[in-house]
Structure 1
Amino acid sequence: MNKVISIFILIFFFSCQENYTPKPRGFFKLSFPTKNYQQYAQDCPFTFEFSVYSKIDTLEKRCFFNLHFPDFKATLHLSYFPLNKNLYEHTEESRVLAYKHSIKANAISEQPFIDRKNRVFGLVYDYEGTTATALQFYLTDSTTHFFRGALYFDTEVNDSIAPVSNFLQEDIKYLIESFRWKEKLVQ
């Protein structure tokens, strides 16, 4: 009788267990807008093209502004400085700010940008890993102008944000390639 009860209890416990079926991985369905650009032509000594799905938020300091990407919860912080024989100071500050993220970055690559025809020279810092920033850059004519940008996300950075980061980096690289200094410095 004891054996019958034991067998019954064992059958009862094993019969109540569900078979585990592995579930497929879920991925975000991302839909990206069509790439389209508009000209930035404010009262600053430069101009460039930026994406139509971003919004400009002008800050109090002249030629300092943010380019918001509300659909992607990201902001490109942009700032301009007139040079007064202090190019090294600005490039070094940009380098220090860029490498503050080396603690979290798996890698930081530096890509020089040279447009001799339009006298636009710079450096683009591209990050791999879970850094707060995905891309930083500076542009200069090496004598009069210095322009800096840094892309930050308003969310926790993880692998799922990589497609959005890549999409926005294409826009920023287009901004850099379309960047031009105006003929005269606006005071």
Structure 2
Amino acid sequence: MLVTDRLILRAFEPRDRDAFVALNSDPQVMHFFGRPYSAQESLAQLSDFAQAQARRGYAFSAVERRSDHRVIGMCGLSRVDAGLPCAPATEIGWRLRPEAWGHGYATEAARAWLAHGFDALGLPEIVAFAPKINVPSRRVMARIGMRHDPDEDFLHPDIARDSELNPMVLCRIDKARWRALKEPHDT
């Protein structure tokens, strides 16, 4: 479990199932994922997260707002699928309910996960990718210090080449850059 000023980042629990299904079935939330997920797909994803947590010690987790203990989304780390050009790598990602957008929650959660990834897990680098048209996620990537190299953008193999969701923008941050960005705040 990770705790920030406003958030608790923790493994999903059985009590979170309805909130997670609602998150993944919301057309606004899932616009950049191509389509809303069915309840069955969402529950399978929760199972995958639990298995990843047990296997690697990290996974996408619930984002719970401390003020009201409501699950407002997910954020965390995951291994990049082998079929993607940035593999092998560890990615950071986030997905929040619309009422949580615009409050800095994604940035706050992502910073906590970067700190955990670099400081506790000893990861050398963390990547993130999103459709080029997903400007809100690209802004979060920039705010957390990730760098974008347009030469690394790619077409996602599971998405139609002519889809608005291709190409994917790939951003990276390594441990040295994370430490350099963090140091002025630690003194």
TM-score, shorter chain, exceeding 0.5 = no
Bigger radius of gyration? 1
- For normalisation by structure 1, the TM-score amounts to 0.29
- For normalisation by structure 2, the TM-score amounts to 0.29
Higher helix share: 2
Higher relative contact order (CA 8 A, sep 6+): 1
